């Protein structure tokens, strides 16, 4: 038996630290009955009053609402803010106990409301300073920023003196409640009560004398003290590292805000000439250069006061271990008898009984014919400073061998979830149908994990078809507008239809690109029940330096025409987040508004549901104990730098039989994309440059009244499929369909010798110049 097993350490908590963990609030009900304070409470109240600060500040809400006045109260290391309301029903604020910063009409209005209030009001928002960073703006002497790791408060004072006073008060409060280890964590070994009685008795039973027993006790205490000191040192280093990471993230956010702020000022005075918007249009394939800047800003800045109370908190129980345990339980059910899950998901059994043909598709890309020459994005930016970025042709190194039209179909990789939803509806279970639709909406993001290359931007009129009888569906998409760039799609399954259109609004933040999809996706079952939702924001980070990665965040509202709707929050990843890509939400009854199920998981791993409202469960309840797996991502990937799934690899497959049936506008026939897939990089660059030069004429073509062939706008200003494509395909009748790629009479890579030499030499010189500057 190990003698250390007999040790039973007991930690002593400090009463002062317990008080610091639960600081009192300045806001007190005016009608509260007075109680006789204890001497300790009087001392504590005096200390808090000395640190309390209040005042009126301008808070930035969004580009739609702009700056709004808010009443701020700083006390106990917590900065709270409240909406100003005219007349009765304002906030009851004890101004006598707080130092007030600022003067003017806004402050007088706040005092009048505080005096007229007759009850206590909860703060509209709170920031805990011990986990936040405070910084003054370098471009405006009246502004300051407070970054908490999850959101940023942009504040503006009336004067520079007020800003300095607020920063001094905030920093003093942060220093008083530092985000460091507590004194209890760093208590010496003498403060820890250790019992060595059992060890002493055991050693004496072995016949050892008192001197030897004391030596054993001394050795044990010395070793324990060393281990204790090492642990405390590591915890302190960890705390310092976390604080440093938060500071770096704060500086990064401020830098991005400064870049955008200065860019908007240039645009205001006519200096920008659309170069920034053109740049991220080139990178993302979006159309921000032709969009309304105010509209784009309102879409991108969705962090309003209302959102702060409508978002759900992602729980700590959503850990890797808990998700893995639920997946293991499901696999155990599958292993224990082939029908282990039929009683849980009868819809799955109904789908399995449907006979889909088996079709052999390719499982890997062709071997590259040339060695790829990487190109740094910074070298491209550096070479084009001060130039019109709309004319920059990015090398195909930044592309993957898929178009945006094909990426739309990739969102339907897990269409079996819709088939399950159809069967649940037939069995009269609308709740399970809604849960499966929500899982389908989330599953479309799984394929983006690890994908560092952008798809090809389609040409105007470019199309893509996907006839997958092995999945029971047919899909068709078309680029219906060039400025703004809009892609429309339509899919027919067995018992359901799916359609939508999408336009991207982009924002360039210096080191990242933010893409906000504009458009509505619709899923309609044959029984008439319809679900509609819009996609969340996507950001691409480290586009200049570092490893490129993407994240999806925001709120997705799935509106059902039947009994239930769903609301999901995609949590934004932070620099120190050890559990990213979380999704959390609820299914609500459309009639009563009651939450009837919880939806949790990760968009790149799996999604689960828990029936009932977990908020009504007793404290300490772990929802993952009752979680049921809805969807799990297929983890198999093709080992190339594109990180394509087997399903994605099949999207651009072109067989001799299929090539005879396709229209001349299909993405599979696009020459630059085909050359990239084959590893013919020089020809891919040459073809890409040729097609982009042709595409610059598309805007003039659209202005002359060009209309898409297979889609038309409806009364809601969205594009709907008008039919006729599959009938024309069956007949092979493509009369009137233009050859938008050109040069298809022979090989798609055939150019006249002079044009080919010019294009290839231009691209080769371009790559060599960039390689020298890396």
Q: What is the pLDDT of residues 343-375, one digit of tens each?
A: 446 566 666 556 678 888 998 888 888 887 766
The per-residue pLDDT for 665 is 94
Q: Measured between alpha carbons, how far is 499 from 490 in angstroms, rounded to an integer? A: 4
The per-residue pLDDT for 673 is 94
- Which helix (H) or strand (E) segment holds residue 530: the answer is strand 530-533
Average pLDDT over every residue of 425-452:
93
575, pLDDT greater than 80: no
Token pair for 93? 């604020």
% of residues, the chain, pLDDT over 90: 32
DSSP string, 656-720: HHHHTTS-TTBGGG-HHHHHHHTT-HHHHHHHHHHHHHHHTTHHHHHHTT---SSEEE-TTS-EE
Tell which wins on pLDDT, 576 or 598.
Answer: 598
Q: Are 504 and 485 in contact (CB under 8 A)?
A: yes
Lowest mean pLDDT among 63-72, 231-240, 256-265: 256-265
Average pLDDT over every residue of 631-646:
81
- The confidence band for 540, taking pLDDT boundaries of 50, 70 and 90, is confident
Give me the long-range contacts of 258-265 (CB less than 8 A, separation at least 24): 258/138, 258/139, 259/509, 259/510, 260/507, 260/509, 261/139, 262/139, 263/508
The per-residue pLDDT for 384 is 57
480, pLDDT greater than 60: yes
The per-residue pLDDT for 86 is 37
Token pair for 681? 């990089």
The per-residue pLDDT for 730 is 93
The angle that helices 39-51 and 160-176 make with each other, rounded to 10 degrees, is 140
Lowest mean pLDDT among 137-151, 344-358, 483-497: 344-358
Digit-coded pLDDT (tens) for 676-699: 999 999 999 999 989 988 887 777
For the chain, the average pLDDT equals: 74
Lowest mean pLDDT among 20-24, 242-246, 278-282: 20-24
DSSP string, 711-733: EEE-TTS-EEE-S-HHHHHHHT-
Lowest mean pLDDT among 166-180, 488-502, 655-669: 166-180
115, pLDDT greater than 70: no
334, pLDDT greater than 60: no
Tell which wins on pLDDT, 249 or 455.
Answer: 455
Strands (E) located in 225-382: none
Q: Measured between alpha carbons, how far is 79 from 170 in angstroms, rounded to an integer? A: 8
Digit-coded pLDDT (tens) for 257-309: 555 555 555 544 443 344 344 444 444 455 443 333 333 333 333 344 444 33
CA distances from 709 to 230, 505, 700 (A): 71, 25, 18
Average pLDDT over every residue of 74-101:
65
56, pLDDT greater than 50: yes
| Exposed / middle / buried, residue 452 (Cβ in 10 Å: 0-12, 13-18, 19+) | middle
Q: Measured between alpha carbons, how far is 277 from 266 in angstroms, rounded to an integer? A: 13
% of residues, the chain, pLDDT over 70: 64
Q: What distance, in Å, lies between the first and last C-alpha atoms of the chain? A: 62
- Which helix (H) or strand (E) segment holds residue 553: the answer is strand 549-560
- The confidence band for 253, taking pLDDT boundaries of 50, 70 and 90, is low
Average pLDDT over every residue of 50-74:
83
Average pLDDT over every residue of 431-450:
94
Digit-coded pLDDT (tens) for 583-629: 999 999 999 999 999 999 999 999 999 998 877 877 777 777 888 99
416, pLDDT greater than 50: yes
């Amino acid at each position: 038996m190990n003698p250390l097993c007999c040790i039973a350490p007991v930690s002593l908590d400090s009463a002062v630290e317990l008080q610091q963990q639960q600081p009192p609030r300045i806001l007190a009900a005016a009608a509260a009955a007075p109680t006789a304070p204890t001497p300790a409470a009087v001392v504590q109240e005096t200390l808090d009053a000395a640190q309390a600060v209040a005042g009126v500040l301008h808070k930035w809400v969004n580009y739609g609402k702009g700056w709004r006045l808010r009443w701020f109260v700083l006390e106990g290391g917590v900065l709270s803010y409240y909406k100003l309301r005219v007349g009765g029903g304002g906030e009851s604020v004890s101004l006598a106990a707080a130092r007030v910063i600022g003067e003017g009409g806004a402050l007088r209005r706040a005092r009048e409301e505080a005096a007229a209030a007759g009850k206590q009001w909860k703060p509209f928002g709170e920031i805990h300073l011990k986990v936040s960073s405070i910084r003054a703006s370098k471009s405006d002497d009246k502004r300051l920023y407070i970054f908490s790791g999850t959101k940023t408060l942009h504040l503006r004072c009336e004067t520079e003196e007020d800003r300095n006073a607020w920063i001094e008060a905030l920093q003093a409060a942060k220093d008083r409640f530092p985000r460091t280890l507590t004194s209890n964590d760093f208590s010496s070994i003498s403060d820890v009560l250790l019992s060595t009685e059992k060890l002493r008795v055991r050693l004496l039973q072995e016949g050892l004398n008192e001197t030897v027993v004391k030596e054993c006790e001394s050795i044990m205490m010395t070793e324990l003290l060393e281990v204790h000191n090492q642990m405390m040192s590591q915890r302190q280093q960890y705390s310092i590292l976390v604080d440093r990471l938060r500071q770096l993230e704060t500086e990064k956010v401020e830098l991005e805000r400064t870049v955008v702020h200065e860019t908007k000022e240039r645009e205001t005075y006519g200096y920008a000439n659309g170069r920034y918007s053109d740049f991220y249009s080139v990178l993302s394939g979006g159309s921000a250069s032709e969009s309304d800047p105010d509209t784009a800003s309102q879409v991108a800045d969705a962090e309003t006061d209302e959102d702060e109370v409508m978002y759900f908190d992602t729980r700590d129980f959503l850990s890797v271990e808990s998700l893995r345990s639920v997946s293991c339980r499901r696999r155990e059910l599958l292993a224990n008898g082939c029908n282990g899950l039929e009683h849980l998901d009868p819809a799955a059994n109904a789908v399995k009984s449907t006979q889909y043909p088996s079709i052999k598709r390719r499982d890997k890309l062709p071997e590259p014919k040339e060695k790829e020459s990487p190109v740094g994005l910074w070298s491209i930016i550096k070479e084009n400073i001060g130039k019109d970025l709309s004319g920059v042709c990015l090398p195909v190194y930044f592309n993957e061998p898929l178009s945006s039209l094909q990426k739309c179909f990739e969102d339907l990789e897990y269409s079996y979830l819709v088939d399950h939803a159809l069967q649940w509806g037939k069995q009269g279970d609308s709740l399970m149908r809604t849960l499966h639709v929500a899982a389908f909406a989330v599953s479309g993001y799984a394929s983006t994990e690890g994908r560092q290359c952008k798809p090809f931007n389609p040409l105007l009129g470019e199309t893509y078809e996907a006839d997958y009888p092995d999945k029971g569906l047919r899909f068709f998409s078309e680029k219906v507008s060039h400025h703004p760039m809009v892609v429309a799609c339509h899919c027919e399954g067995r018992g359901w239809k799916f359609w939508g259109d999408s336009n991207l609004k982009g924002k360039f933040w210096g080191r990242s690109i933010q893409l906000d999809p504009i458009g509505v996706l619709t899923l309609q079952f044959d029984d008439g029940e319809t679900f509609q939702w819009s996609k969340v924001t996507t950001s691409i980070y480290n586009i200049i330096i570092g490893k490129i990665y993407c994240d999806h965040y925001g709120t997705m509202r799935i509106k059902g025409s039947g009994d239930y709707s769903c609301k999901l929050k995609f949590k934004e990843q932070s620099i120190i987040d050890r559990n990213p890509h979380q999704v959390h939400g609820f299914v609500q009854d459309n009639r009563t508004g009651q939450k009837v199920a919880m939806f949790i998981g990760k968009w790149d791993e799996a999604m689960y549901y828990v029936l009932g409202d977990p908020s009504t469960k007793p404290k300490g309840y772990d929802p993952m104990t009752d979680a049921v797996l809805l969807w799990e991502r297929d983890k198999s990937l093709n080992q190339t730098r594109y990180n394509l799934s087997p399903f994605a690899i099949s999207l651009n497959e072109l067989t001799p039989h299929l090539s005879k049936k396709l229209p001349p506008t299909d993405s599979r026939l696009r020459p630059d994309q085909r050359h990239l897939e084959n590893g013919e990089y020089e020809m891919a660059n040459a073809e890409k440059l040729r097609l982009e030069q042709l595409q610059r004429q598309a805007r003039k073509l659209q202005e002359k009244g060009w209309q898409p062939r297979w889609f038309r706008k409806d009364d809601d200003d969205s594009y709907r499929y008008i039919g006729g494509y599959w009938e024309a395909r069956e007949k092979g009748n493509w009369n009137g369909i233009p050859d938008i790629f050109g040069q298809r009479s022979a090989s798609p890579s055939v150019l006249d010798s002079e044009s080919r030499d010019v294009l290839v030499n231009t691209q080769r010189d371009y790559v060599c110049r960039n390689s020298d500057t890396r």
